[in-house]
Structure 1
Amino acid sequence: MKASLSIADIGPNTPLRLAEAVQIAFPAGGMTVSGLRREIARKRLTVELIAGKQFTTLEFIAEMRKQCRVQAKVPGCGFDQSAEPRPENSKSDPPGSSGTAKNMSAQDALQHKLQRLKKSSGST
């Protein structure tokens, strides 16, 4: 005999069959019983096996969702805003600096580099 439970009667530790858990925990859809079984196989969702039937709880689903959260990607290159500012009187140039004068424009730096390349290559 199946007892009729309302959503209000279901607590975070109430054992739920996977089909019921999908309906309650994912009311807008997007998750299926087979999806929960995949998460069980990946050891992200805890399941209780009682009389050969799989049960889970809303609390176990909440834990699974924490494990499934995607972390924001940190840029691999570019300006690191968390880096501490370098003092103006720092003796060494920052890594990757071209050694050009601090007030030199990009165009002037390119001209300077071309002049050095011309001198080093000589005539052929």
Structure 2
Amino acid sequence: MAISDQEKLRVRDDSPLRLRAAAELAFPDGSMKSSGLRREAARGNLVIERIAGKDYTTLANIKLMREKCRVEAKDLACGGVRSAARAGNSSSMARGSSSTEVSTSPRDALLAKISKRNSS
């Protein structure tokens, strides 16, 4: 069921659309199907209206779904750019230096235990 150009011009953001038509209009590359919209509705991300046993949604509801599903970019873990949260913190350590907690390896712990037994 391809939607004609004439029909596309008449569709408003609040026009009720069957899920297949809504997917075709909102995702013209064909990457989303009606089954994907139903899954998002089951997850609580998309509002669907069921009228006479048929599922409808609007382009405005799909826009809201896309906002809910948006993935935020993560801060860089390393590199020259400092995140805004850490920008105000000053550190006494020189740039590029790092310290790790001094820990005893299992091998070193065993050797220390054997050495202690042998000396007693």
TM interval, shorter chain, is 0.5 to 0.7
Once residues 33 and 60 of structure 2 are traced to their aligned partners in structure 1, the CA distance between those partners, rounded to angstroms, is 18
Once residues 63 and 84 of structure 1 are traced to their aligned partners in structure 2, the CA distance between those partners, rounded to angstroms, is 35
Q: What amino acid maps onto 2:50 in structure 1? A: L
After superposition, the CA RMSD in angstroms is 2.5
Match of 1:66? Answer: 67
Residues 75 and 83, structure 2, Cα contact 8 Å, conserved in 1: no
Q: CA-to-partner distance for each residue in 1:79-122, whole Å, 9 max, x for gaps?
A: 62531375xxxxxxx26x27xxxxxxx9xxxxxxxxxxxxxxxx
Aligned to 2:56, the other structure's residue is in SS state: strand
Match of 1:32? Answer: 33
Match of 1:23? Answer: 24
Q: CA-to-partner distance for each residue in 1:9-40, whole Å, 9 max, x for gaps?
A: 11000000001111111111110111111101
| 1:10 equivalenced with 2:14 (yes/no) | no
Q: What's the TM-score, normalizing by structure 2?
A: 0.63
Match of 2:88? Answer: 84
**How many equivalent residue pairs?**
88
Q: Describe the shift of the 1:81–1:60 C-alpha distance in structure 2 as closer, same or farther (beyond 3 A).
A: closer
Once residues 43 and 78 of structure 1 are traced to their aligned partners in structure 2, the CA distance between those partners, rounded to angstroms, is 38
Q: What's the TM-score, normalizing by structure 1?
A: 0.61
In the alignment, structure 2 segments of 5+ residues that lack a partner are 98-120
Residues 46 and 62, structure 2, Cα contact 8 Å, conserved in 1: yes
Quick check: which has more Rg, 1 or 2? 1
